Structure formats: C-alpha cells, structure tokens
C-alpha cells in the first residue's frame, strides 16, 4: 500500500461520485484499490471486488461501531460486476503515516498503541455480530485458495477476546496534532478475536512505516507486556492469509 501519484487517472465511477468536487488521490492498495479525498469533506474508495473483504462489509461494520467509537460516517456504497465503492465523511486528524508523523515516529507509535487499546476497550465483544477469530480467517483463506501451513491451524490459548480492528496497521489510525488517536478507518475485517491478533500486526507494521525499533514501544503504549508466542503466531497467520 502506498500514497499514489498526484496525476493518477480517476475512474469514471469516482468522478461521478465526486460531482463538482476536486479530487486528490491519497491511497493505493495492493489489489488496485484507490482512495481519493474530495475538497468538500468526503473520502471515496473504489476498487475491484475481492474475496478477502468487501466495502459492503466495511460499511456495515462502521455503522455498527459508530455507537461506541469514532469511525467515518457512511454516505454511500455501491457495486457492479467488477468493482465496488464506498463514500464516507472526512474526520479530523491525519493518518499516522502522513509525513508529519513519519518525522515523529515515537509520538506516532505511542498514539497508535494507545488508540488501539481504547478501541478494544470501547467496542462490546458480546454485541459484535462478526468474528475475526482463527477459524473464520482460515475459512476465508480457503475460499480464496490460500494454503495455510498446518502449524497455524493450532492457535495459542486466547488471552482476551475483544472486537479487533482486523487491519490494525498504523496507517489506519488517525491522530490529532498532539499525537492522540481520534479515529480508526478501514474496518472491513472488524470482528471478535484475541486482542493479540491486532497487537501483533500493529506492532509489526511499525517497522514497515517507521523503520526498526518501535515494536515494543507500541506494545508498551497499548498497556501490556510483550507475549512472544502470540506475537509470533498472529504475525505468521497474517503473512500466511
């Protein structure tokens, strides 16, 4: 995933959804999905249909989660035979990987870790209608034809069940100017699972975005001691699926 070129071609559907608003490309993922910011306070996501997760699923999860935590308001969603799209209202704050925070990695990592803990504490697992637990993730991988190593079919004992973000990589946390988490985005996989499924990925992603040396800082900011067994397992599961 990366920040795309400013002169990226705009899909016809995105142009139609934007109307008269000006568009700025802000994100491109590994399967050709694009996100644009409009100058009238919206974000438009567009991309190919994909078996791992859908924008319809993301819209449903954001509508549910907004009762307890700050996530984007859904303005529109649609799909055709090949693509789908999602329009949301912009929120205050900026992604933890914008240049401002890349230049301040320690503050960003602390903010992301604390925000992840706040998300887990806020969302009620007993009321969540979706799972992101290991059996669900293995079944999803199988539907996509992904062969997962046999060792990953045996998970460690659950530490604490929470409503996980499902893609807790650091770009998906919005921070205010003081480095405090203000919202989360990209919630298409949100569901109940062991909290280490999120912690493992969030801490691992610090190296992708800020360089080595910040994994334990994120775990400290979350408020737990490192758990080498669960960290290793859930990172391997992420990479395998």
Kind and range of the H or E run holding 80: none
Annotated ligand binding at 172? The verdict is: yes
User: Could you tell me the CATH number of the domain that includes residue 206?
Assistant: 3.90.1200.10
What's the confidence (pLDDT) of residue 2? 52
Domain boundary among 89, 124, 148: 89
**Given 89, 114, 136, which residue is the final one in a domain?**
89
Distance CA 215, CA 240 (A): 20
In a domain, 25, yes or no: yes
Same domain (yes/no): 138, 108: yes
Q: Is 159 a catalytic residue?
A: no
Over the chain, what is the mean pLDDT? 94
Mean predicted confidence (pLDDT) in 59-63: 97
3 occurs within a structural domain: no
Check residue 7 and give its pLDDT: 67
pLDDT value at residue 28: 86
Q: What is the pLDDT of residues 156-181, one digit of tens each?
A: 999 999 999 999 999 999 999 999 99
Please give the average per-residue pLDDT across 20-44, as a whole number: 91
pLDDT exceeds cutoff 90 at 37: yes
Mean pLDDT of all residues in 171-196? 96
Query: Which strand ranges, in their side-by-side order, compose the sheet holding 23-28?
Result: 23-28, 34-38, 42-48, 83-89, 74-79
118 by Cβ neighbours in 10 Å (0-12 / 13-18 / 19+) ranks as middle
140 is in an annotated binding site: no
Q: Write the pLDDT tens digit of every residue in 75-111.
A: 999 999 899 999 999 999 999 999 999 999 999 999 9
Structural domain span for residue 16: 12-89
* Residue 227 and residue 181 share a domain: yes
Pick the catalytic residue: 167, 194, 227, 236?
167
Residues 98-152: pLDDT tens digits? 999 999 999 999 999 999 999 999 999 999 999 999 999 999 999 999 999 999 9
Residues 99 and 171 in one domain: yes
């Amino acid at each position: 995933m990366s920040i795309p070129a400013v002169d990226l071609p705009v899909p016809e559907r995105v142009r139609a959804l934007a109307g008269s608003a000006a568009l700025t490309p802000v994100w491109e993922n590994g399967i050709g999905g694009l996100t644009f910011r409009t100058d009238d306070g919206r974000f438009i996501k567009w991309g190919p249909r994909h078996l791992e997760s859908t924008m319809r699923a993301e819209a449903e999860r954001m509508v549910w989660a907004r009762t307890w935590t700050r996530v984007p308001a859904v303005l529109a969603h649609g799909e055709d035979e090949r693509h789908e799209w999602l329009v949301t209202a912009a929120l205050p704050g900026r992604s933890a990987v914008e240049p401002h925070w890349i230049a301040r990695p320690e503050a960003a990592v602390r903010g992301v870790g604390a925000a992840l803990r706040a998300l887990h504490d806020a969302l009620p697992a007993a009321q969540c209608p979706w799972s992101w637990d290991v059996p669900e993730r293995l079944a999803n991988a199988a539907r996509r034809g992904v062969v997962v190593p046999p060792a990953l079919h045996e998970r460690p004992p659950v530490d604490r069940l929470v409503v996980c973000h499902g893609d807790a990589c650091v770009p998906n946390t919005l921070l205010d100017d003081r480095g405090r988490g203000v919202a989360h985005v990209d919630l298409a996989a949100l569901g109940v699972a062991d909290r280490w499924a999120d912690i493992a990925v969030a801490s691992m992603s610090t190296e992708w975005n800020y360089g080595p040396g910040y994994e334990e800082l994120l775990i400290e900011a979350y408020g737990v001691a490192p758990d080498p067994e669960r960290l290793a397992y859930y990172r391997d599961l992420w990479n395998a699926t």
